Amino acid sequence: MSAAISSRANADRALDQERHAIGWVLALGMAGLFTSPAGMAGLAVTVPIGILAIALPAAGSGERSRALWMAATALGIAAFWTAGRFAPLPALPLGTSTVAVIIVAAVAEEAFFRRLAFSWFSRWGDLAAIALTSIAFAIVHVPAYGIAALPIDLAAGLLFGWQRWATGSWLAAAVTHAAANLLQAI
Amino acid sequence: MSEVRLPSALRRLLWGLGAAAAYVAVVWTASVQGGMPVRLLFDGPHPQQPYNFVDPPTDLAARNLPAQPGEATFGLLSKGVIAGGSVSTGDGQAGLTFPAQTFAARPGQEVVVTITPQDPLSVGPPPDGLAFDGNAYTVRAEYRPSGQEASPEREVTALLRYPVRANTLLRWDGSGWSRLESTNVPATLQVYANTDQLGTFVAAGPPPPGGQTNWIVFIPLAAIALAAIAGFRARRRQRTKWTRQGTRRGAR
């Protein structure tokens, strides 16, 4: 009996240590994304963070419904398309490699924020997870997009967070984020 | 009276409609009400094609393509106002966005806006502490067919792509370069600003310190990521083993 209790205590301690370690990964990942240079060199930071975020354990949550997933993705893309009509900066010229890069970057960021970070923050509830990941997402984009984009990226983070909460998966946010990036070229 | 509860999926979608509307509203507020278009998410590296210089650095001269001009015509709408729109150079390195009624309407006249690239050093030396980054672009607007100069009556947004490290937009005022209140987007190597005057614009930033991005940074980062993954997996296996042992002993 005491051996069983001891093993369970060890397992609980390991779980705590894992949470603690993931907290450090999140903090370092945030610092990495915040300071990552613009341009191709930024991928040297974003891609390892994305790989780490996909490989590390993270709990899923919520209902899994294909119809809901598709509706959430469509709604997200529609919002980004509509918003683009109000921000009429000239379209960005895209090459094939740029298309690949912005898709990879979007997936890596969503794996970090909506998979790993959301799961970690959700111990304080879904609302806290959505809010905290949105704030973190907005902050790391300031160096690259300027302070003027902070409220916009905060709102984008809330939209992605809603997708994560509504679908129980980070993939709808990843698809929407990639589409939002591509819409900048249209 | 019993409480009427919407199905879970519908409630979730309604929250999503709210989130989507909030996002659109924030962009509208920032861009339209704030008067300054904002670059939305992009996440990409700077444009992949090389920068087209009017006067390229020596090491880039062999592969340099000439910078391209741009032109657009803004016609008279049936409401009696000049239409809004944007004009870009053929290579996308410079662009301006004009709201409707930027130019005063004149009967039978339309407005033609041209963008012409030029070497900024041929216009004037850079301000102290700044270095030009890329070409200068001269923007002119004139009524056609009269050929008279057209001046904006509203603020327009000028946007330049730069090759390396600019952070501000300058406008030549006839005797020197003046700084415009600019927004820099390093993610796309673009800087833009609102201005109520046309003329010659150039992107500028701190003088280059020399040196290049060290790509070898990728190797230790990837190694750290792989080591962390391996460590987590090993710890997880150990935890699973402890849990199973505990369950078995507890069952005995």
CB nearest B232 (choices: A18, A75, A161): A18
Q: How far apart are CA A40 and CA B187, in angstroms?
A: 10
| Interface contact B185, partner A, CB < 8 A | yes
Tell me the per-residue pLDDT of A141-170, one tens digit each, with 9 for 90 and over: 887 777 777 888 999 999 999 999 999 999
User: What's residue B2's pLDDT?
Assistant: 47
The helix-helix angle for B218-251 and A2-35 (nearest 10°) equals 160
Q: Is B43 within 8 Å of A49 when comparing Cβ atoms?
A: no
User: What's residue A99's pLDDT?
Assistant: 79
The CB density around residue A107, as the number of other CB atoms within 10 Å, is: 23
Structural tokens at position B48: 């992949």
Q: Name the closest residue on chain A to residue B242, using Cα atoms.
A: A7
User: What's residue B237's pLDDT?
Assistant: 75
Instruction: Give yes or no for a cis peptide into B145 (omega within 30° of 0).
Output: yes
Q: Name the closest residue on chain B to residue A86, using Cα atoms.
A: B28
User: What's residue B1's pLDDT?
Assistant: 45
Tell me the per-residue pLDDT of B78-97, one tens digit each, with 9 for 90 and over: 777 888 888 889 888 999 98
Residues in Cβ contact with B170 at an 8 Å cutoff, skipping those fewer than 6 apart: B126, B127, B130, B177, B178, B179, B180, B201, B202, B203, B204
| Interface contact B92, partner A, CB < 8 A | yes
Q: Closest Cα to residue A159, out of A185, A128, A133, A121?
A: A133
The 10 Å CB-count burial string (b at 16+, else e) for B63-87 is eeeebbbbebebebeeeeebbbbbb
Q: Is A42 within 8 Å of B45 when comparing Cβ atoms?
A: yes
User: What's residue A92's pLDDT?
Assistant: 60
- Rounded (5°) CA angle B223-B225-B229: 115
- What does the CA dihedral B158, B163, B169, B175 come to, rounded to 10 degrees? -110
Structural tokens at position B172: 């030549």
Sign of CA dihedral A127, A129, A132, A136: negative
CB nearest A38 (choices: B46, B235, B243): B46
The values of phi and psi at residue A31, to 5°, are: -60, -40
Region class of B85: left (phi > 0), else alpha (psi between -120 and 50), else beta: left
Residue A52 pLDDT level (bands cut at 50, 70, 90): confident
Q: How far apart are CA A163 and CA A160, in angstroms?
A: 5
User: What's residue A149's pLDDT?
Assistant: 79
| Mutation target among B41, B52, B184, B224 for the A interface, most CBs of A within 10 A | B41
Q: Name the closest residue on chain B to residue A147, using Cα atoms.
A: B183
Q: Is A68 within 8 Å of B46 when comparing Cβ atoms?
A: no
Tell me the per-residue pLDDT of A122-135, one tens digit each, with 9 for 90 and over: 989 999 999 999 99
Using DSSP's 3-state secondary structure scheme, residue B97 falls into: strand
Continuous segment of H or E residues that includes residue A20: helix A2-35
Q: Name the closest residue on chain A to residue B84, using Cα atoms.
A: A88
CB nearest A76 (choices: B20, B32, B238): B20
CB nearest B225 (choices: A17, A52, A72): A52
Higher pLDDT, A63 or B227: B227
Q: Is B31 within 8 Å of A86 when comparing Cβ atoms?
A: yes
Tracing tokens 């490989």 back to the chain, one arrives at A55
Tell me the per-residue pLDDT of B37-63, one tens digit each, with 9 for 90 and over: 566 676 655 444 678 999 988 877 888
Using DSSP's 3-state secondary structure scheme, residue A5 falls into: helix
Q: Name the closest residue on chain A to residue B49, using Cα atoms.
A: A95
Pairing between β-strand B182-185 and β-strand B70-74 as defined by DSSP bridges? unpaired
CB nearest B43 (choices: A10, A82, A109): A109
C-alpha distances in Å from residue A140, one per residue of A136, A155, B94: 6, 14, 27
Residue A55 pLDDT level (bands cut at 50, 70, 90): confident
Report yes or no: B177 and B136 within 8 Å, Cβ to Cβ.
no
User: What's residue A60's pLDDT?
Assistant: 67
Q: How far apart are CA A177 and CA B32, in angstroms?
A: 23
As for the ipTM of the complex, it is 0.86
User: What's residue B132's pLDDT?
Assistant: 93
> How many beta-carbon pairs under 8 angstroms link A with B?
250
Fill in the amino acid letter for A84. G
Q: Is A80 within 8 Å of B41 when comparing Cβ atoms?
A: yes
Residues in Cβ contact with A36 at an 8 Å cutoff, skipping those fewer than 6 apart: A42, A44, A45, A46
Would you give the DSSP letter of residue A95? -
Fill in the amino acid letter for B122. S
Strand residues in chain B grouped as ranges (E)? 70-74, 85-88, 94-98, 110-118, 131-144, 156-161, 168-172, 177-180, 182-185, 190-195, 199-205
C-alpha distances in Å from residue A130, one per residue of A75, A112, A118, A164, B127: 17, 13, 7, 8, 46
Q: Does A11 score more than 80 pLDDT?
A: no
Q: How many residues does chain A have?
A: 186
The values of phi and psi at residue B177, to 5°, are: -90, 135
Interface of B with A in 5-34 (CB under 8 A): 8-9, 12-13, 15-17, 19-24, 26-28, 30-32, 34
- Profile chain B (252 residues) by mean pLDDT over runs of 10 residues: 63 92 87 61 60 87 89 82 85 88 88 94 91 94 92 91 89 91 82 92 81 52 71 73 66 57
